[in-house]
Amino acid sequence: MNELTIVKVGGNLIDNESDLDSFLNAFASIQGKTLLVHGGGKLATNMATRLGIETKMVNGRRITDAENLKLVTMVYAGFVNKNIVVSLQSKGKNAIGICGCDLNIIKAEKRKHPTIDFGYVGDIIEVNTSALSELIEKNIALVIAPITHDGNGQLLNTNADSIVTDIAIALSKIYKVKLIYSFEKAGVLQSLENEMDAIPTLSEEQIKEMQQGGAIHTGMMPKTDNAIKAIKNGVNEVIIGNLVAIQNNQSKGTRIIGN
């Protein structure tokens, strides 16, 4: 099997121009076939405030009504996506920016919840591996925004961690996949006092214990849950950490292992 490196970037790295540039330098230096999934950072929330559009969150998840869907589509699949692509081009990394509706890459369905109406939030039901692999085999870096569709003309806002996980699982049937959930810290930390002191390896059992004890919480919860899902479903290697530090051999991040 050919090797494929899949990276997810979001959070503070998207929001900080200098940090994003350093990240993209590291991503551009990865040898071989690559795929990048990005979130939107705080730009959509900041833009909503400027436009007078209310932002509603439940347990860290955005409620995406019709106006917010227009906004996140413009920000994620528009400005953020193309800003990343043009930066990669300037670094000699040929790239193409797409989202889930392009080439029918990611089909989703409107989230169903017994008590909460999440609006136009999508949960993934299908990944088009043949379309993805056709582009990957052209040695083009794919840059994927977290906007999907339902196949019936409706765009949906879908969590970027979920997208990168399901893409990695689907493509692991074709490639030897290395998946990196990249953010500004070195990995899952031993303590909040030292942001470069990452736990070298974590198993599903250890992650569950840390979640129950409160050591893993908020934004790290979906990362660790998705990392477990990936390693249990065929992804060869899963790492949570800072891509710049990993590429510069300053850190190996936190490697997620099976029980």
For 211-215, what is the mean pLDDT?
A: 85
What pLDDT sits at residue 103? 97
Half-sphere exposure of 61 (CA within 13 A, CB side): 21
At residue 259 the predicted structure's pLDDT band, cuts being 50, 70 and 90, is low
Q: C-alpha 169: how far from its chain's center?
A: 13
Lowest mean pLDDT among 144-158, 185-199, 218-232: 185-199
* 189 Cβ neighbours under 8 A, 6+ residues apart: 195, 197, 198, 199
Q: What is the pLDDT of residue 157?
A: 97
Mean pLDDT, the chain, integer = 92
- d(CA 189, CA 62) in angstroms, rounded, equals 26
The number of folded domains in the chain is 1
Average of per-residue pLDDT across 30-44: 92
CATH assignment of the domain containing 13: 3.40.1160.10
Coil vs helix vs strand at 119: strand
Q: Which amino acid is at 210?
A: M
For the stretch 118-127, pLDDT in tens is 999 999 999 9
d(CA 116, CA 58): 9
**In contact, 100 and 158? CB cutoff 8 Å:** yes
Residue 131 lies in domain: 3-257
* pLDDT for position 137: 96
DSSP letters, 36-49, are EEE--TTHHHHHHH
Task: Check residues 200 and 60 and name the one with the higher pLDDT.
Answer: 200
